[in-house]
Structure 1
Amino acid sequence: MNKPTISKNQPVVLELEAGDYYYCSCGKSGKDPFCDGSHKGTDFTPLKFTINEKKKVALCLSKQSKNPPFCDGSHNQL
Structure 2
Amino acid sequence: MKATVTPTDATQAVTSQVTLIRRLPAPAMRRALRESAGLSTGDVARALGVTRQAVSNWERGKRTPRGAYLDSYVQVLERIAHLNAVA
TM class, shorter-chain normalised? under 0.3
Report the structure, 1 or 2, having the larger helix content: 2
Report the structure, 1 or 2, having the larger strand content: 1
TM-score (norm 2): 0.21
Structure with more contact order per residue of length (Cα contacts < 8 Å, sep ≥ 6): 1
